[in-house]
Amino acid sequence: MVNYDIKEGLGQVRPQWLLCLGLCCFSDSLAGVDICQEPTNYSHLSVAYYKHAESSIERNLGETRQENYDVDLLFTSGNKWVFGAGHRYTILNVSQLELQTNGHLHTFFLPVHRQAQTDRGSFRLSIAPALSASSNVMQSPGEYTGDALQLLAALVWGRQLSERMSLRYGVCGDHRFGSYKVYPLISMDWQPHPDWLFELGFPTSRLSYQVSKTLSSLLRIGPDGNEWYVKDRALQKQSQLVYEAVTLEWAFNWQAHEHFMLTASIGRQLHNRYEVTLLDDSRVRLSSDSVTRIGAALEWRF
């Protein structure tokens, strides 16, 4: 890593790279394997845990409780290639309703990012094959079908508009809206001050603030969802479980060491919706109340 003296170094750095440097400083944990988000410029291993409070299902049909375990591994190879692996483990407990699945849901994916820099701006192609299914399917490879496979992809261009403003646009395809969707991506990134960064766009917007050399704060809002191929315990019945929500989250990142970052977060899961099959084979769509969630993450950079 190159360290610049504030007074002498800025004069040696090309203006169009100032915003890029700011973006790297504000990169939030668990960002690198997200297909539709810019990968980090460093290799890292991240683990995270999120716990949702109990949420009431509409018409008093029951309650849901959810936990999430995330693991991300990312390797950078020069400025062109970034490789990674990710695992999302969701535990969904539903009371009073009997789901066809046991509620233990896994998604494994292997992202590959190809990046290029030209005089006109930047370009990125990202692809990630994924396997998304309940635990009883994951434990039985013979049960894998095309319904458990996903292909996540993104095609993104970037352009520097000024010293402190840049534009990113493109298309993404993934399950953050629940069922698979291909949708436009656009983000206007503005850094009016070295400590502040505004990322306004779709599907996700962020506001970042560098509190001190080792502490930063991040406020973000965006969709949160997935789809899993699930089976009953006897592996005789199968269906798709779809979840979609909007996450509003406030996080604090502490750079405890050159190689370690700790993150604590609190947020709200808004507009929670589920499309599930019950044990009696009936297909239902359910909504539950907005709910608070708390999280913690550890990132090791290498």
**pLDDT score, position 33:** 60
Answer yes or no: is 76 within a domain. Answer: yes
Q: Name the one residue in this structure whose structure tokens are 């589920």.
A: 274
pLDDT in tens, 172-199: 999 999 999 999 999 999 999 999 999 9
pLDDT in tens, 193-238: 999 999 999 999 999 999 999 999 999 999 999 999 999 988 999 9
Q: Is 100 left (phi over 0), alpha (psi -120 to 50) or beta?
A: alpha
| DSSP H or E run through 25 | helix 18-25
Q: Is the pLDDT of residue 13 over 70?
A: no
* pTM (global) more than 0.95: no
Question: In this structure, what CATH number is given to the domain that contains residue 82?
Answer: 2.40.160.40
Which residues on neighbouring strands pair with residue 63, listed in sequence order?
A: 56, 95
Q: Is the pLDDT of residue 16 over 50?
A: no
How many separate domains does the chain show?
A: 1
Mean pLDDT across the chain: 89
Cβ neighbors of 22 (< 8 A, separation 6 or more) are 191, 194, 197
Answer yes or no: is 86 within a domain. Answer: yes
Answer yes or no: is 11 within a domain. Answer: no
Answer yes or no: is 161 within a domain. Answer: yes
Answer yes or no: is 47 within a domain. Answer: yes
**Residue 44 pLDDT level (bands cut at 50, 70, 90):** very high
Task: Quote the CA–CA distance of 78 and 237 in Å, as a whole number.
Answer: 47
Answer yes or no: is 208 within a domain. Answer: yes
Answer yes or no: is 96 within a domain. Answer: yes
Full domain range(s) for residue 264 = 19-301
DSSP secondary structure string for all residues of 188-253: EEEEEETTEEEEEEES-EEEEEE-SSSEEEEEEEEEEEEEEEEE-TTS--EEEEEEEEEEEEEEEE
Task: Quote the CA–CA distance of 114 and 1 in Å, as a whole number.
Answer: 22
Task: Quote the CA–CA distance of 238 and 225 in Å, as a whole number.
Answer: 20
Structure tokens, 126 = 């990202």
Answer yes or no: is 3 within a domain. Answer: no
